[in-house]
Chains A and B, each alone.
Chain A
Amino acid sequence: DAGVIQSPRHEVTEMGQEVTLRCKPISGHDYLFWYRQTMMRGLELLIYFNNNVPIDDSGMPEDRFSAKMPNASFSTLKIQPSEPRDSAVYFCASSFTEETQYFGPGTRLLVL
């Protein structure tokens, strides 16, 4: 079975550029989560969706971050404009129920 798919796996960009991260959840999972992982703060939940509807976006750092889920098999996390402090690993996870989450391989973002 295919797990959670994320693209790109690596992204290097310059400050001020727009960055779009993509996620395909496991088929049949109703929940989709976006996390950010840094050495200092560990894994932080940014936003999550249930049946394509955003439920909690309180973890989104600021207005530069936005996320969409246009259908059950696709979600994007966009950063515009990007800043060096956004450099981190961004994970997408999906689940049948809210708690038992399966993670993708992550996107390693470096903003210069």
Chain B
Amino acid sequence: GQQLNQSPQSMFIQEGEDVSMNCTSSSIFNTWLWYKQDPGEGPVLLIALYKAGELTSNGRLTAQFGITRKDSFLNISASIPSDVGIYFCAGYGGATNKLIFGTGTLLAVQP
């Protein structure tokens, strides 16, 4: 199935560091979503973006809907051990009315 390009694939950082990850597509989307998945659990919605250029925060998380509508970015400030998990972007709309997921970014935080 179709997946969005997400980078980096994995990150190993120290507690307190800031984290940036992004997602790119060859297609435009009308909505970008960011999810976090813990081991053995389902994806949990972190942030939803509905307009090109939109910048939205949720606590230490900030996400942006790219102006071209083909990309999105997620930043985590001052990481803590519970930030560990896999982060997925997802795009909706455009050529298909389905939620298309990224390949995921594995985040590991060393205390």
Where the two chains meet, the residues of A that have a C-beta atom closer than 8 Å to any C-beta of B are: 4, 33, 41-45, 56, 59, 91, 93, 98-106, 108
CB distance from A101 to the nearest CB of B (A): 6
Contact A42-B103, Cβ < 8 Å, known A56-B98, A98-B92, A99-B31: yes
A45 with B99: CB separation less than 8 A: yes
By secondary structure, the B interface counts as strand
Interface residues of B in 70-110 (CB under 8 A from A): 88, 92-93, 97-99, 101, 103-104
- B→A interface (CB under 8 Å): 1, 3, 30-31, 33, 35, 40-45, 48, 88, 92-93, 97-99, 101, 103-104
- Shortest beta-carbon distance, A83 to chain B, in Å? 19
CA of A103 to CA of B46, assembled, Å: 12
